[in-house]
Amino acid sequence: MALDTLPALITLLIALSIATERAVEITKSLIPWLDASHTVPALEARRRAAIQTLAIVFGIAIAYLSWPLIAEVLTAPGAAPRPRGFGSVLALGLLASGGSGFWNSLLGYTVSLKTLKSAEARERRVATARVTVIPHPEEGSIAL
């Protein structure tokens, strides 16, 4: 995979993730036991595990069904499309099943990196700033 296909791959993963999450939400709404939180910790743990299992199954199924598009995105221009490999479908399905938790984590890392870079730039500006004294005729000098 060429580096210039990375934005397309990320877009593809986001689309797969959204489709997976929608499929899970629709299924949850059809099964009352999955839709409502439980006060008993053991039942809630089972419910969450069932939802994660659904997300994995749907993620893999959607990646499998979307393979013609995926192969086109992952193929370098002028090269032959990649055959459908179970490992590739499994990996993309698992990434898609991460859902909003996966993307929120990725977004959190990106925002943290941006904040860090912004703070470093601010420190460089402060370190290179000089105090300029402008004489004021009536009140003395003003430091900027």
CA gap 131, 126 in Å, rounded: 10
* Predicted local confidence at residue 68, as pLDDT: 82
CA gap 133, 136 in Å, rounded: 9
DSSP character for 143?
Answer: E
DSSP character for 5?
Answer: G
Give me the phi and psi of 85, to 5 degrees please. -105, 135
Kindly give, in sequence order, each residue whose CB lies less than 8 Å from that of residue 141, ignoring residues fewer than 6 positions away. 133, 134, 135
* Predicted local confidence at residue 13, as pLDDT: 84
* Predicted local confidence at residue 90, as pLDDT: 87
Tokens of 76: 């370098």
Domain ranges of the chain: 3-97
Q: What mean pLDDT, rounded, does the chain reach? A: 78
| Segment holding 19, helix H or strand E | helix 6-30
What mean pLDDT is predicted for residues 48-68?
90
Residue 78: Cβ-neighbour burial (10 angstroms; 0-12, 13-18, 19+): exposed
**Residue of 139 and 64 predicted with greater confidence:** 64
DSSP character for 82?
Answer: P
Statement: residue 1 has pLDDT above 60:
no
* Predicted local confidence at residue 108, as pLDDT: 67
Range ranked top by mean pLDDT from 54-68, 86-100, 122-136: 54-68
Q: Where are the beta strands (DSSP E) in 38-104?
A: none
Q: How confident is the model at residue 62 (pLDDT cuts 50, 70, 90)?
A: very high
Q: For 4-47, how does the pLDDT look when each residue is reduced to its tens digit (9 = 90+)?
A: 566 777 788 888 888 998 999 999 999 998 888 888 999 999 99
